[in-house]
Structure 1
Amino acid sequence: MGLVSERDLINKVLALDCNPTAVYASDIMDKTPSTLPADAFFYEALLTMIKRHDKYILVVENGFPLGVITMGDLTRLRRTSTLSIVSRIESAETTTELSYAAKLIQKVTVNMVSEKAPANEICEVVSELNDLITRRLLVLAEEALDKRGLGLPPLDYCWLTLGSGGRKEQTLSSDQDNALIYAQPTQDQEQQVQEYFLTLANFVVNGLEEAGFPKCQHNIMANNPVWCQSLQGWKNSGNSWIFAPTTESFRKFTIFLDFRAVYGQEKLAQELRDFAHHLFRLAPSILHHMAKDDLQTRVPLGLFKQVILDKKQGHRDEVDIKGSACVHIVDCIRIFAMREGILDTSTLARLYKLVSLEAISTDDAEYYEAAYQSLMMFRIRGNLQKLSKGLVPDNYINPSTLSKRQRTVLRESLIAIDRLQTFTGSNFGVEGYL
């Protein structure tokens, strides 16, 4: 089964001046077209087109084709087309043009929320669009440095997105967490090579800030020499984080573990990921320390499982959905995933793999997934509401603004995380949880 498009006819027959009567469809068809089942949602088709840069998707049922979805079909369904944003990003020639395209992502999020798309799909679409912006900035950065007389990249490199970006869990309030890895230079090249990549990273970091992505308050960005290193430099850092651990190094390591290649030579990222998992096999006790670090704080629940509200100035009577709730699901699932050698970075992908390996029961996984989806949706809706009022999105919500049912969902979600933290503590030997 394959698919023949107008582009195939032009590029593979007419452009080559072939005799149309001597060419078979099987000679020119795309033998591995993108496919989706008939009951797939709109945004599944959208994600497929963004990821694969396809203009056609074959709709199949039981292996048989039912029809074709085109880019035009998806575009006609939306006044603010996500695919037109993709086109704007890929054709942008300046950071100003990219900044304008980035602002349109908010409208995509509003559409998805109104259509009741699940939180993980919304985050994945946002993350994919953010990736496109980053890739385009890197192309512009290479061109700008070449025009300045610094030349093209002296060695292979790979741009990494970390944290929520690495997990494809970005929302509208995501700040920058990124890094850069480059091939090993010779000793006499080392300083010059790092200076080049720091300059390139600075262009991208500033461009992302202009496009609406705040700089990381903790300076976890590729224009910081700590987060811009050769492959061997990264391995040395990993060794020091594992074998000379501090609270700060644990936190750097957990952010680092969720990295994902966005642009460049992915083999560098893969070698680094293999090395990171090798470190866990050498020092499995690190998992105990990671669990202990997460359990330093618990979800905001009282003795009788009532929601405890924040008392800080500026956030009185609110709940920090990201910092006091979602972070614990991410941390705990990551710890289990590292123990099992799971290479996925997405929290839900890790959770599904843990179920398949029988490390977490199906019932528990469904409980944790429902909590995560609910909390992420609270974050997305809350941040959109603040943006609509001209406020800065901050991941806090005030439970008094929720319906009775929503308050119940919030409380049950926090109870699920509390249970997950207890389960993590008992599995990784944290004192007080044995």
Structure 2
Amino acid sequence: MEPLKSTGQSPLKNRVNLKNVDSAFTLKQARMKRQEELQNGIDETNILDWYQHVNDLHDAIARKAIELTEKEMWKEGFGQAPVPYAFVVFGSSGRREATLWSDQDNGMIISDEEHPDKERFFKEFGIRLSNMLESAGYAKCEGKVMCSEALWARTLSSWREQLSEWSSDLQWEPVRYFIIAADMRHVAGDLALSNQFQEYFSSLFESTPDLSAAVLRNTVKHKATLNILGQVVKERFGEHAGEFDVKYGMYIPLVNSGRYFALQHGLKETNTLQRLKKLSTLEAAPSNLIEPCEKAFLIALHLRRSAQMKEDHGVLSSSGYIDQSRLKEKNTLYELRVGLSAVKKVHRNLQRQLRFAERGRI
């Protein structure tokens, strides 16, 4: 595997060229061109630099899509945005860990300022923006975490009410939504709105005693990755039988663990590696737990990037699985065992914490 520390240098150009982009079609063309550069540069680019370039691309495309959507609505008589708003992202984009084939995970935070056209404008804007992003090559989120959905495009006061509701209902689904919100990252628009969202989110977590245990219950739920003999657990049935699910078998458990520790210690970072490094710097978690997780996470990024991928009219998608031929490679198996050993170790630690927390509630 290539060197894992960011070098600050890369054979790739730093940015996508959007100078002549003036439509959804040319936006997609610009994305496809940059996408090809990033694909071709995989072997020559440090992995952290590569992910930085990829996520810079996604942010730039999103900002241009916003610009084009605003212009389109202006031309069609909707006028300009009646009040300030922020466009934000969640999921892997929120953590700046998105791959080239990541789908949409976004939302809006709209100012509480009064305006008669506010609801009409932003409802239409959210739908058009999501469609613009889809046209540019970003598949719509199957879970409907998008700015076109009322649940994820709200005024700041409505967001506060929703976050409060999620934090007070400790069932699986509301807690899952609350966890999604934990990875919110500002991309465009009024930064103050995003900052206020994050501040309120943090205050809720700190002031709701039972929320930590509820988040932990969600965090420890993941599929088995190593059996009792230390062998990698592969898919047994279906189209991916004999393959390994790197996303849900290694990447997501590490993301969830890093997020939980970060929330416990009030960290504002959303990027998993930054969370782990900050935890290590602050000595907020045992070094013999965090350091293996850092190494495992870098392995997960490497394996996730190299998972099976296909392209359809410029739109990339990936199964997230490592195929059987790669699983026969000694280096791949070694990386999996190293990474999954860290997953198992942190999972046991979190299970112990959950048992302790549950006993305290009795």
What are the equivalent positions in structure 2 for 1:314-393 lying under 5 Å apart? 314-383=239-308, 386-387=310-311, 392-393=317-318
Match of 2:188 among 251, 263, 269: 263
The CA distance in 1 between the partners of 2:14 and 2:311, in whole Å, is 20
Match of residue 63 from structure 2: 135
Deviation per residue, 1:374-417 (Å, 9 max, x gap): 12111111245x459x9841211124424112112112211111
Change (3 A) 1:273 1:286: same
Match of 2:208 among 283, 301, 308: 283
Structure 1 contact 172–383 (Cα < 8 Å) conserved: no
The CA distance in 1 between the partners of 2:24 and 2:93, in whole Å, is 20
Gaps of 5+ in 2: none
1:278 match: secondary structure? helix
Gaps of 5+ in 1: 1-38, 47-76
Match of residue 157 from structure 2: 232
Match of 1:409 among 310, 335, 341: 335
2:42 match: secondary structure? helix
Match of 2:31 among 75, 81, 102: 102
Residue 171, structure 1, aligned to residue 99, structure 2: yes
Highest CA radius of gyration, 1 or 2?
Answer: 1
The CA distance in 2 between the partners of 1:298 and 1:203, in whole Å, is 37
Match of residue 79 from structure 2: 151
1:114 match: secondary structure? coil
What are the equivalent positions in structure 2 for 1:179-258 lying under 5 Å apart? 179-186=107-114, 189=116, 192-258=117-183
1:256 match: secondary structure? helix
Residue identity matched to 2:196: E
RMSD over equivalenced CA pairs, Å: 2.4
Match of residue 53 from structure 2: 125
Higher mean alpha-carbon deviation, 300-309 vs 269-278, is at 300-309
* Overall identity of the aligned pairs, in %: 27
1:113 match: secondary structure? coil
Change (3 A) 1:380 1:430: farther
Residue identity matched to 1:107: E
Match of residue 303 from structure 1: 228
Change (3 A) 1:288 1:312: same
Report the alpha carbon displacement of residue 247 of structure 1 after superposing the two structures with TM: 1.1
2:87 match: secondary structure? strand
- Flag the structure with more relative contact order, 1 or 2, with Cα contacts below 8 A and sequence separation at least 6: 2
The CA distance in 2 between the partners of 1:122 and 1:360, in whole Å, is 29
The CA distance in 1 between the partners of 2:240 and 2:19, in whole Å, is 39
Change (3 A) 1:152 1:353: same
